[in-house]
Amino acid sequence: MPGLKFARVCSSGLLLAALSVAPSFGQAPTAAPAPQATTAPAVPAQEKPAAAPKTVEEGFAQLEAELQSPPPGEGLTPEQRSEFIKTKVQTVLTIIDKTMALKPDDEKRKELIELKVQMMGVLGRFGDEGADKKVSDYLTSLLSDASPEIVSFAKLSLMMTRIESILELEAEARTKLVEEIKAEILTGEPTVDKMQVASNLASMLGYTDDTKTSAKLYEDFAKYFSTSTDERVKASAESFAGSARRMNLPGNTMLVTGTTLKDEPFDLAQQKGKVVLVDFWATWCGPCIAEFPNMLALYEVYHPHGFEIVGISLDQDREQLTKFLEARKIPWIVLHENNEEGSNKTADYYGINAIPSMVLVNAEGKVVSINARGEALAEELAKLYPNVKAPAPESDLKVEIKTE
């Protein structure tokens, strides 16, 4: 019986349904408007709970069936879908507890524990106000477990819950917490679990304005994980090193070279004298495309004054990319390496592991922002072009994009 690993769980019908309607963690679902139909759609009938598993293998089979079950159909209100999914999650939690009672080996038990923490988190997304404490208490109870791997998982998971609070802290308290968690990560041997926690810590800190501290954090992690004998972990060191370069960009020169869709060589250094937005994106990235209306509107205003956009596409299919750009009449420069992996040497060099990622370079060739998205881009351009009349912030700064 295959294990219920994280990636597999996240692809289940149940989890996809949950994430599609769940509000932010810890917030109650917003009530939906009353349906227009005179008769409310029928809520899918919940199946009768399966009998308690008699073996660990049977328990895993029941979990597999529940997790892979299809989400509720169309026509339900958000509240009805929420109730359906919460009941499903409770069923999963019950099966987990009954399977745990059968005393599985440590490997299976760790999988069940990981899944239980996930399911408790899903309930938190659906308004369980005590979810944070329940998860924390459960993980704390595991710190005295006889299995070193489960203790390690609990410690790292508790770190993750602490990481989530970073953005709510004042600078001094945030710095103290980051240093504490970093010290815990760097103690002992580098592992895959530690790599994931380190990535989350560094990424969260990257949302603050403290790019120097964030860069140092990435550098320390790059050095630490490079010593691992696990190739997966060792490979992450290169990504951490790249992210450190990205965090060190403000005030410095950015290196961007490549080939345009017209098969012409490109070097950002040749754009000196222009303000340039470097946009890492892909056609399959919804948030990337959501930035386009704002980018098009700003391009129309500032391009005559020397503003340029350079899109670095991480798409695999060049033909599809070309059709996409032509259909939407995108006017700016787009670079693409035309490989089946969708990789890009500049993206790798700067550790781009999430898109969109947008970097703004001034006319002197120095980076002024590594988070130039949405309103932030408009604000930065207004500073760089003080004599250019731009649309007022409250106006509709959008240009329609054709979708067909």
Q: In the prediction, which pLDDT does 275 show?
A: 97
Q: In the prediction, which pLDDT does 266 show?
A: 95
Query: For residue range 62-87, what is the model confidence (pLDDT) as tens digits?
Result: 999 888 877 666 677 878 888 888 88
CA distance 2 to 108: 10
Mean pLDDT value of segment 110-118? 93
The interaxial angle of helices 56-67 and 13-21, nearest 10 deg, is 50
Is the confidence at residue 229, as pLDDT, over 70?
yes
Query: For residue range 150-162, what is the model confidence (pLDDT) as tens digits?
Result: 998 898 888 888 8
Q: How confident is the model at residue 335 (pLDDT cuts 50, 70, 90)?
A: very high
Query: Sign of the CA dihedral 321, 323, 326, 328?
Result: negative
CATH class of 257-384: alpha beta
Is the confidence at residue 122, as pLDDT, over 90?
no
Average confidence score pLDDT of the chain: 83
Where is pLDDT greater, at 14 or 294?
A: 294
Q: In the prediction, which pLDDT does 24 show?
A: 33
Q: In the prediction, which pLDDT does 206 show?
A: 80
Query: For residue range 303-314, what is the model confidence (pLDDT) as tens digits?
Result: 999 999 999 999
Pair of tokens at residue 392: 């007022």
Taking the complete model, does pTM exceed 0.75, yes or no?
no
Is the confidence at residue 33, as pLDDT, over 70?
no
Q: In the prediction, which pLDDT does 216 show?
A: 93
Domain ranges of the chain: 1-28+47-145, 165-248, 257-384
Where is pLDDT greater, at 6 or 115?
A: 115
Query: For residue range 130-186, what is the model confidence (pLDDT) as tens digits?
Result: 888 899 999 999 999 999 989 988 988 888 888 888 888 888 999 899 999 999 899
CA distance 347 to 351: 6
**Before 53, cis peptide (omega within 30)?**
no
CA distance 69 to 89: 12
Is the confidence at residue 3, as pLDDT, over 70?
no
Q: Using a pLDDT cut of 90, give the percent of the chain over it.
A: 54
Q: Which has the minimum average pLDDT: 256-270, 339-353, 358-372?
A: 339-353
Q: For the residues of 132-199, what is the DSSP string, one character each? A: HHHHHHHHHHGGG-S-HHHHHHHHHHHHHHHHTTGGGS-HHHHHHHHHHHHHHHTSS---HHHHHHHH
Among 191-205, 259-273, 380-394, the range with the most confident prediction by mean pLDDT is 259-273
Q: Per-residue b/e over 218-231, b at no fewer than 16 CB within 10 Å?
A: bbbbbebbbebeee
Q: In the prediction, which pLDDT does 46 show?
A: 56
